[in-house]
Amino acid sequence: MAAELADSEPAIKSFYSPEILSQLDIRKIPQHVAIIMDGNRRWARQLGHPPMFGHWQGAETLSEVVRAASELGVRTVTVFAFSTENWFRPETEVEALMGIFETYLTRKKEAMVRDGIRLRAIGDLSKLPEAIQLAFCDTAKATERCSKINLVLAMNYGGRDEIRRAMQSILSLYQKQQLPDGNITEELISGLLDTAPFGDPELLIRTSGELRISNFLNWQISYAEIYTSDVLWPDFTPKQLFNAVLAYQKRTKRRGT
C-alpha cells in the first residue's frame, strides 16, 4: 500500500470558527513558528506500512498545518524537513525522501500560489539532487510574490553547520577588512544565519513526545517557547496547532528577569 500526494487541494477553507478564534489574543500570535515534524516512521509502523507511507502522509499534514497557521496570523513557519544527519539513514529511504520532496515541490506549487504561501529554504541545498534544486527554484519563483505566510523548508540543514557557515562568513569579512574593529556582535552573527530574513521563532513545536531539539535552529531558539506534543506528525491537526499557540499565549515570557 502506498500513499500519494494529492495533485490538487480543495479550495481554501476555514479551520477555525469565530468562537474558537476568540480564545486567542490576536496581539500575541507568534509571528514565527518552528516545527520539528517527528513521528512519520512510527506512525507508518503502527499501521503496518513501510516508513515512506508515513512520510507521504506527513507531507499532506504539512500543507494543512501551514494553511491553518496562516489563518491564525502566523507569518512564517519553518519546518525541519531533512537534516544533515538524515543522510546516514538507509540509502533506499533517503532516495525515497528525495522523491517525496521533488513531488511535493512540484504538485503543491499551484496550491501555494492560491493560498498565498511564499516558499523559502534554509540549509545547504547544493548537496541535494539537481532535480530537487530545480523543483525548489521553480516553486520559489512562482510564489515569490505571495504574502500571507512564509513556508521555510530546512533541507540538508543542521544548526551547528549553519553556525559554522556563519563563522566562515565572518572570517571572510575579516580577511577582506570589512569587519569594523574586528567586533563580532550577536547582531552580526544573527544577520549571517540562514534565518536572517525571517527573524527568530517565538514558538518551537515538536511532535511525537520527544524532548530534544535535534540540532535545529540552535542559535535562534534561545528564547523560544517550546511546546511538545505526544501526537505523531501525520496525526497533527489544525486543532493541535491552535492548542500550541494557546499554550504559548498563556506563558509568561522572560528574558533574563
Tell me which of 7, 38, 150, 200 is the catalytic residue.
38
The x, y and z cell numbers of residue 82, run together, are 531533512
181 is a catalytic site residue: no
Distance CA 149, CA 154 (A): 16
The SS3 call for residue 77 is strand
Contact 121, 155 (CB under 8 A): yes
Tell me which of 25, 40, 86, 215 is the catalytic residue.
86
Distance CA 64, CA 220 (A): 25
Distance CA 215, CA 41 (A): 19
Q: Which of 36, 76, 23 is nearest to 236 (CA)?
A: 36
86 is a catalytic site residue: yes
Distance CA 170, CA 166 (A): 6
Catalytic residues: 38, 86
